[in-house]
Structure 1
Amino acid sequence: MSKFIAIVGATGFQGGSVLKVLHAAGGYKLRALSRNPDSDSAKSLAAEYPGVEWVQANLNDTPSLRKALTGVDAVFVVTDFFQKDTLEKAAAGDKDGEFAQGKNVVDAAIDVGVKSVIYSSLHSMKQLSNGKYTGVHHFEGKHKVEEYILSKADEIKGYFIYLGYYMENYVRFSRISPEDNQTVEFTTPLKPTTKIPLVDTTNDTGHVVKYILEHPDECLGKAVEVSGGYYEAQEMAKAFTKATGKPARFVQVPYEVTGFDELTEMFNALDEFGNFGGSTRFLEYNKKMDYTFATPEEFWKNRNWDGPSN
């Protein structure tokens, strides 16, 4: 696959991982797309990764996307249902805001002659659950973008990654126990024994995208799942104690604590059907990669994180 790569969402977990890995690999010309390339996060990354071109683009503004994608060979795309504008549309009844953004990027890429798109998609939870869970819109929207890309196979080559459950979620949803003001509690609606495919998003994502770029014929039109392996949801708490020596425990909270009907349904679905529907196809890809995915214990060691400050 050609070497001029545009990265949508370069300041986020996934896009930032792609930026880091491809920059370190060398041999790639990189263009990072951001709503605000003058933001502190974009400026920090520009200083950290010299030689990367930063351009302004908005996923709701097709002309800006055409301009930003002109001249590139391939584009990595991640969309986010939980952005403010997309959530506002969803609250008003428009559940297709994320699909519209993904379609905008694909259409702009086709318009300016981009050869390939690597899209961060997900399984359809509606399909995985045989129609039981139909309201996990950030799964459905991404899968709908994937289907749209495949429908344009005669105009652009489509590649897809499916990320597992972010290990970073355990950082976000943590607290110090009010009982002893010492134990770190990792809170999630998942059942403690639910097996989930975990992913160290900020490190793992870029290596899988790099593999796709290096093996385009093998990966064309396929979904490459991104995870180091299946673990019980409670394993991240146990791993934290092993890595840091600090007390920790897993705390299951009610599904409804998320405050979003969509997330309530998602956690129900994950407990019953999982992110990948039990698939282990990713393990075959992992064996081929010159990269070792982090275990939960390694994740905590690499972060050097002692726990929440309050």
Structure 2
Amino acid sequence: MTITQDSSAPLIVVVGITGNQGGSVVNALAESSKPYRIRGLTRDVNKPAAQEFAAKGVEVVAVSLTSDNATGAREAFNGADITFVVTNYWEHLDVNREVAEVKMLIDQAKTVGVKLFIWSGLESIIKVSKGKYPNVHHFNGKGEITEYGRHSGIPFVNVQSGWYASNFAKLDGMKPKKQADGSFVLALPVGPQTLLPVLDTPHDYGLFVQEAIESPEFGAGSEVLTSGEDITVGDMVSQLAEITGKKITFARIGDEEFLAATGLPRSVALEVLESLKYHEEWGYYAGKTTDASRRHLARPTRTWADFVKSTNWSSILA
């Protein structure tokens, strides 16, 4: 562990340390050969994850980063050399709130003189698709924030989050479904050739933030595209079947069938549907390759097969 309280070490403020991405960032920096002071922000310092980080030397601070709490954000960022900011749109499903909150954070980080603002953004699907897919708010809002950050005057880097490997294990609409003959079918509204930058987020996302901080190739003005492995949906299903020893096949289904299968409110299901259709048509990163972003990582990332092997599928494939 290289987390330190030495005032000569850079101070990195990490938003959402108890989440998948924030926690991954802290873990990656703790494994670095370079020393860092880390201040982790969370709404609840009593969460077990927050307590564990505190025991490892992280300064854990309770703060609610709503758009009306600029004073709290400014105090939380005070003295920081670097900030890492991530949002959880799915917690409230309010894209206007998300955009307002992060714009406020960018402004306050600039006010206190942060030297590098690292943002977990995504592509603006409505812009890339020229309006064809307007309802993917969790992408579009982050795209708007990215544009704001790039023009704000603060040193800004966008470390985009890849496709969560856990989606096939946690989202009802994407889990393999058992058939009458005991086999399983993983059904999506896209073809098996759809390519995804699959990422075991808690395990590997932080590596890319570390890279953005430590590699001269990245830093202010750059974009990092995270991916443990770029792999087609068809190959993911084949590997899942091979590793688990279950008969699992892929099927393309209609849009309405998928919307019903998600079990989500229609507006939320529509977001998921349109995001998948966009990934098939334009590519998750709008055709940009992830090769350069994997060039200077501190250690290898997990592949999809690695993730499958490390995950308990017994309840899903019962």
How does the TM-score come out when normalised to structure 1?
0.85
Q: Deviations over 1:178-216 (max 9, x none)?
A: 5255x5654544433211221221122111111111135
Equivalent in 158, 161, 166 of residue 160 of structure 1: 158
In structure 2, give the amino acid aligned to 1:191.
G
**Which moves more between the two structures, 297-306 or 68-77?**
297-306
Q: Which residue of 1 is the match for residue 150 of structure 2? A: 150
Report how many aligned residue pairs link the two structures.
295
Deviation at 1:135, TM superposition (A): 2.4
Alpha-carbon distance in structure 2 between the residues aligned to 1:112 and 1:219:
19
Please state whether the residue corresponding to 1:96 is helix, strand or coil: helix
Please state whether the residue corresponding to 1:100 is helix, strand or coil: helix
1:300 correspondence with 2:308? yes
Do the aligned partners of 1:162 and 1:223 also contact (CA within 8 Å) in 2?
A: yes
Deviation at 1:41, TM superposition (A): 3.6
Q: Which residue of 2 is the match for residue 256 of structure 1? A: 259
Q: Which residue of 2 is the match for residue 9 of structure 1? A: 16
1:240 correspondence with 2:240? yes
Please state whether the residue corresponding to 1:264 is helix, strand or coil: helix
Deviation at 1:59, TM superposition (A): 2.1
1:54 correspondence with 2:52? no
Q: Deviations over 1:149-202 (max 9, x none)?
A: 11122xx21011112211111111325615255x56545444332112212211
Alpha-carbon distance in structure 1 between the residues aligned to 2:58 and 2:64:
19
Q: Give % identity.
A: 32
In structure 2, give the amino acid aligned to 1:79.
T
Do the aligned partners of 1:146 and 1:160 also contact (CA within 8 Å) in 2?
A: yes
Please state whether the residue corresponding to 2:193 is helix, strand or coil: coil
Please state whether the residue corresponding to 1:161 is helix, strand or coil: strand
Q: Which residue of 2 is the match for residue 139 of structure 1? A: 139
Do the aligned partners of 1:34 and 1:55 also contact (CA within 8 Å) in 2?
A: yes
Q: Which residue of 2 is the match for residue 266 of structure 1? A: 275
Please state whether the residue corresponding to 2:288 is helix, strand or coil: coil
Alpha-carbon distance in structure 1 between the residues aligned to 2:38 and 2:287:
35
Q: Which residue of 1 is the match for residue 6 of structure 2? A: none
Alpha-carbon distance in structure 2 between the residues aligned to 1:283 and 1:163:
15
Q: Which residue of 2 is the match for residue 68 of structure 1? A: 76
Please state whether the residue corresponding to 2:210 is helix, strand or coil: helix
For structure 1, which runs of at least 5 residues remain unmatched after alignment? none
Alpha-carbon distance in structure 2 between the residues aligned to 1:172 and 1:158:
32
1:226 correspondence with 2:229? no
Q: Which residue of 1 is the match for residue 169 of structure 2? A: 171
Deviation at 1:252, TM superposition (A): 4.6
**Which moves more between the two structures, 60-69 or 213-222?**
213-222
In structure 1, give the amino acid aligned to 2:36.
Y
Change (3 A) 1:241 1:39: same
Do the aligned partners of 2:123 and 2:285 also contact (CA within 8 Å) in 1?
A: yes
How does the TM-score come out when normalised to structure 2?
0.83
Q: Deviations over 1:224-261 (max 9, x none)?
A: 11113421113222222333334434455534234323
Do the aligned partners of 2:197 and 2:228 also contact (CA within 8 Å) in 1?
A: yes
Alpha-carbon distance in structure 2 between the residues aligned to 1:298 and 1:245:
15
Alpha-carbon distance in structure 2 between the residues aligned to 1:45 and 1:247:
41
Deviation at 1:120, TM superposition (A): 0.6
Please state whether the residue corresponding to 2:89 is helix, strand or coil: coil
Change (3 A) 1:242 1:175: closer
Alpha-carbon distance in structure 1 between the residues aligned to 2:243 and 2:122:
31
Do the aligned partners of 1:228 and 1:283 also contact (CA within 8 Å) in 2?
A: no
For structure 2, which runs of at least 5 residues remain unmatched after alignment? 1-8
Change (3 A) 1:216 1:159: farther
Please state whether the residue corresponding to 2:280 is helix, strand or coil: helix
**Which moves more between the two structures, 128-137 or 161-170?**
128-137
Q: Which residue of 2 is the match for residue 192 of structure 1? A: 192
Tell me the C-alpha RMSD between the 2 structures.
2.4
Change (3 A) 1:8 1:250: farther
In structure 2, give the amino acid aligned to 1:20.
N
Please state whether the residue corresponding to 1:288 is helix, strand or coil: coil
Equivalent residues in 2 for 1:109-128, closer than 5 Å: 109-128=109-128
